[in-house]
């Protein structure tokens, strides 16, 4: 790996690959370091129409359009006794995509490479060194048992490490969790789910339940991502009652006619039920020297 770069981007998710591509297209020397080897699993599949403008800016729109992701023309909400649809086709950017993130993120990372970004996958940033408040170099490690390690210095750091949040969590310690968004999500994938003929094409289905709400996201590989979101306190209470993730998920689903109907002929894709918490947060400061 090079020992110096103008811009170091940590993380090759959408934030990292987008920033790196934009800067490389402006003529900067950009190095991106990603811990995992892509494709890697990630949640966050239902994109908003505003992403089209970003895809245009980085010159990746044609590649994304050609890939065959599920086009998303809007959303359908069944909330308590009310239901309504959200129709993107009336907006300035009239659609979006439902994406299998492993494939979408890989496409964007490959695009970054094609625009001149030097990308190192399977390489983890272990720590940063500072000149006063300014980060100026990063220690990296790669390979089983850290067979290869080194240091790279930079003028500017872009921390796009997502929830790991190297700068925010380890150095600035400025990440805060809002009381209203202390949610837990439990989700999995279903094969052969139905489609909502009454909603915009490829819409996300959102259905409320007494303890929270469900999402249903149709994906291009004939699976549907189906997740339950509930407050952390409710989740903890249910766990203390001895309920498994599966029990919490299926009991809630019994109270969601929209999702039950979509899944009536579907089968759960074998594999562990997935769960995440503490994924909504804010940082006081998002830029600083370096
Ligand atoms: C349950 C749930 C549902 C969601 N649903 C949606 C949705 O429907 N639509 C939507 O738009 N968003 C959704 N999101 C949010 C979405 O997942 C995130 O906003 C998005 O992934 C953020 O992208 P990112 O590039 O910032 O981070 P990430 O995609 O997380 O990328 C960060 C990258 O940094 C790498 N990394 C971390 N530490 C290091 C290190 N030390 N060295 C090198 N690399 C490192 C990681 O391996 C990772 O690849 C959801 C989130 C959750 C938790």
**Mean pLDDT of the chain, nearest integer:** 96
Q: Which residues contact 172 (CB under 8 A, 6 or more apart)?
A: 283, 284, 285, 288
pLDDT of 57 over the 80 cut: yes
**Under the phi-then-psi rule, with left for phi > 0, alpha for psi from -120 to 50, and beta for the rest, what region is 11?**
left
**How far is ligand 1, taken at its centre, from the CA of residue 29, in Å?**
24
> Is the peptide bond preceding residue 39 cis, with omega within 30 degrees of 0?
yes
- pLDDT for 36 equals 98
Q: Is the pLDDT of residue 255 over 90?
A: yes
Q: Which of 47-56, 105-114, 204-213, 274-283 has the lowest mean pLDDT?
A: 274-283
Separation of CA 50 and ligand 1 centre (Å): 18
Stretch 61-73: mean pLDDT:
98
Cα separation, 183 vs 227, whole angstroms? 12
**pLDDT by residue (tens digit) across 79-99?**
999 999 999 999 999 999 999
First vs last C-alpha separation in the chain: 21
| Best residue among 1, 44, 166 to mutate for probing ligand 1, ranked by most atoms within 8 Å of CB | 44
pLDDT of residue 38: 98
DSSP letters for 38-68: SS------B--TTHHHHHHHTT-HHHHHHHT
pLDDT, residue 285, reads: 84
- The confidence score (pLDDT) of residue 289 equals 86
pLDDT at 290 over 90: no
pLDDT tens, residue by residue, 153-192: 999 999 999 999 999 999 999 888 888 889 999 999 999 9
What is the pLDDT, as a whole number, of residue 77? 98
Confidence at residue 272, expressed as pLDDT on a 0 to 100 scale:
83
User: Does residue 243 have a pLDDT over 90?
Assistant: yes
Complete domains list, the chain, with CATH: 4-45+100-172 (3.50.50.60), 179-277 (3.30.9.100)
Residue 124 has, within 13 A of its CA and on its CB side, a CA count of: 13
What is residue 55's predicted lDDT score, i.e. its pLDDT? 98
Contacts of 236 (CB under 8 A, 6+ apart): none
Say how many Å lie between the CA of residue 83 and the centre of ligand 1: 30
Whether the pLDDT of residue 280 is over 90: the answer is no
Looking at residues 1-8, what average pLDDT do you find?
Answer: 96
Nearest-atom index, ligand 1, CA of 166: 41
For range 237-250, the mean pLDDT = 97
Pocket of ligand 1 from Cβ distances under 6 Å: 10-16, 33-36, 42-47, 124-125, 160-164, 166, 185, 276, 279
Give me the mean pLDDT over the 139-158 stretch. Answer: 95
């Amino acid at each position: 790996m090079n020992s110096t770069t103008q811009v170091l981007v940590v993380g090759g998710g959408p934030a990292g690959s987008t920033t790196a591509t934009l800067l490389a297209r402006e003529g900067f020397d950009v190095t991106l370091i990603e811990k995992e080897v892509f494709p890697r699993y990630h949640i966050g599949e239902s994109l908003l129409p505003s992403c089209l403008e970003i895809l245009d800016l980085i010159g990746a729109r044609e590649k994304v359009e050609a890939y065959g992701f599920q086009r998303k023309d809007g959303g359908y909400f069944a909330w308590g006794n009310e239901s309504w649809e959200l129709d993107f086709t009336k907006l300035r950017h009239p659609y979006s995509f439902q994406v299998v993130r492993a494939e979408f993120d890989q496409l964007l990372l490959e695009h970054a490479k094609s625009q001149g970004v030097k990308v190192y996958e399977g390489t983890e940033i272990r720590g940063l060194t500072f000149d006063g408040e300014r980060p100026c170099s990063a220690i990296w490690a790669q390979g089983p048992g850290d067979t290869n390690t080194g240091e790279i210095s930079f003028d500017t750091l872009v921390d796009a490490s997502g929830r790991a949040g190297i700068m925010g969590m380890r150095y600035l310690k400025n990440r805060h969790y809002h009381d209203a968004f202390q949610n837990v999500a439990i989700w999995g994938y279903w094969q052969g789910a139905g489609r909502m003929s009454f909603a915009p094409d490829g819409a996300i289905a959102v259905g409320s339940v007494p303890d929270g709400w469900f999402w249903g996201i149709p994906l291009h590989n004939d699976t549907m991502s189906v997740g339950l979101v509930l407050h952390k306190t409710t989740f903890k209470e249910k766990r203390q009652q001895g309920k498994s993730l599966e029990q919490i998920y299926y009991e809630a689903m019994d109270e969601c006619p929209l999702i039950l109907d979509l899944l009536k002929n579907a089968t759960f894709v074998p594999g562990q039920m997935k769960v995440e918490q503490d994924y909504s947060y804010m940082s006081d400061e998002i830029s600083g020297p370096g």
